[in-house]
């Protein structure tokens, strides 16, 4: 099952590849990359899932992996416990296969606050470089 959470997304077609961030929560999916935003729905059945999303350009720039903007994309995929992979097509470009890998993001715990003051900087504790001939 595609779990609620944030995912790093790697996607590609035969034209190009890219990366973005995707959020999944309670049957909804949304995210973005450097030029596009995504918004859609997720339906799950065990380890299998399907996604229907719209992708819209938010910033001028390079071409999308589809070669066109503002798309409806339909994907089918599976969750293998570590990552999710899916394939599909955009309605506007049905001959172009779209592949996506979703990698779950894990929150990094904050570093504990130091209970002691930071040590004073002492350059004399650094290793010394060997002297070269002609150095003074």
**Lowest model confidence (mean pLDDT) among 1-10, 35-44, 84-93:** 1-10
Statement: residue 25 has pLDDT above 70: yes
Q: What is the pLDDT of residue 126?
A: 83
Confidence of residue 136 (pLDDT cuts 50, 70, 90): low
Q: Indicate left, alpha or beta for 62 from its phi (over 0: left) and psi (-120 to 50: alpha).
A: beta
Statement: residue 45 has pLDDT above 70: yes
Q: 86-113 burial, b for 16+ CB within 10 Å, e for fewer? A: bebbbeebeeeebbbbbeeeeeeeeeee
pLDDT in tens, 75-87: 999 988 889 999 9
Q: Name the more confident of 38 and 130.
A: 38
Q: Name the more confident of 31 and 127.
A: 31
Q: For residue 57, what are its two tokens?
A: 């350009």
For the chain, domain boundaries: 5-104
The alpha-carbon radius of gyration of the chain (Å, integer) is 23
Domain range 5-104, its CATH number among 3.40.50.720, 2.40.128.380, 3.40.50.12780, 3.40.50.850: 2.40.128.380
The pTM is what?
Answer: 0.75
Q: What is the pLDDT of residue 65?
A: 93
Q: pLDDT over 70 for what percent of the chain?
A: 97
Cβ atoms of 15 and 22 within 8 Å: the answer is no
Per residue, the 3-state secondary structure of 55-85, as one string, reads EEECCCCCCCCCCCCCEEEEEEEEECCCCEE
Q: What is the pLDDT of residue 86?
A: 96
Cβ atoms of 103 and 120 within 8 Å: the answer is no
């Amino acid at each position: 099952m595609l779990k609620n959470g944030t995912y790093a997304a790697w996607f590609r077609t035969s034209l190009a590849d890219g990366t973005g961030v995707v959020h999944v929560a309670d049957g909804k999916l949304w995210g973005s990359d450097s030029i596009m935003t995504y918004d859609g729905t997720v339906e799950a059945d065990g380890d299998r899932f399907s996604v229907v999303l719209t992708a819209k350009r938010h910033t001028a720039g390079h071409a999308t992996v589809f070669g066109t903007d503002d798309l409806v994309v339909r994907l089918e995929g599976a969750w293998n416990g570590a990552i999710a992979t899916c394939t599909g097509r955009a309605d506007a470009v049905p001959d172009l296969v779209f592949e996506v890998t979703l990698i779950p993001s894990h929150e990094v715990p904050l570093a504990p606050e130091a209970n002691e003051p930071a040590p004073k900087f002492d350059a004399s504790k650094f290793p010394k470089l060997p002297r070269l001939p002609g150095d003074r």
